């Protein structure tokens, strides 16, 4: 089940296994998604476009703190 945290009015959405970004996220959201490689930080844009960092983070906490830092930057 997807969970949502709001940081600086930016939604950070953590998706559970099998949940799709398009189903739970909208433009301006940051999605955290885990796979076998680690935790990915995805930035959701207009029309469902998704941009991501080149590599996953080793832990959820690292991905979350990165998402919060990105939200801080976007809020300025």
| pLDDT tens by residue, 15-54 | 999 999 999 999 999 999 999 999 999 999 999 899 999 9
Nearest to 18 by CA among 30, 1, 5, 31: 1
Give the predicted TM-score (pTM) of the model: 0.93
DSSP per position, 10-70? EEEEEPPTT--HHHH--TT-EEEEEETTEEEEEEE-GGG-EEE-SS-BSSHHHHHHHHHHH
Count of C-beta atoms within a 10 Å radius of residue 23: 8
Instruction: Work out the average pLDDT over 2-16.
Output: 96
């Amino acid at each position: 089940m997807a969970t949502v945290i709001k940081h600086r009015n930016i939604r950070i959405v953590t998706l559970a296994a099998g949940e799709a970004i398009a189903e739970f996220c909208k433009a301006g959201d940051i999605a955290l998604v885990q796979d076998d490689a680690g935790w990915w930080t995805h930035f959701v844009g207009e029309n469902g476009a998704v941009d991501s960092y080149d590599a996953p983070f080793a832990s959820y906490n690292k991905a979350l703190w990165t998402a919060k830092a990105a939200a801080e930057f976007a809020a300025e």
